Amino acid sequence: MSHNFALAATQHLAFGRLLTLSVIGQPPMRFTAQEASIVAQALAAIVASRSTERQIYMSPIASDREFSANVKTGGVVITFDGCADVALNWSETVELARELATFGAAFTAVARK
């Protein structure tokens, strides 16, 4: 488990179940299941060298802040204006992608029933 980030399921009055991403030293960001899945796919594509993108950016609908991660040689760096950057190595990047994907898949599976 990474010491640089934590994920927790939360409930929102309008959007229902959300995933809150807390990155050390930065304000929390909230993702819907679909948004979590999209970010997970983007991270996984970069890790697997299927994408040459150098930045992943999303403005989640249920969050007051954006998600921005810049791809570096050793992993990704999550940035937020006015806060310290947080570097995730490749192992942590894979862990974040898996946890985001798991939330998205689990929520989608429940929603379909």
Q: What confidence tens digit (pLDDT) does each residue in 39-96 have?
A: 999 999 999 999 999 999 999 998 888 999 999 999 999 999 999 999 999 999 999 9
pTM for this one?
A: 0.88
Q: How far is CA 44 from CA 11, 54, 63, 96, 101, in A?
A: 26, 13, 23, 9, 10
Q: Give the separation between CA 89 and CA 73, rounded to whole angstroms.
A: 9
> Which tens digits make up the pLDDT trace of 13-38?
888 889 999 999 999 999 999 999 99
Phi then psi dihedrals of residue 39, to 5 deg: -65, -40
Find the length of the chain. Answer: 113
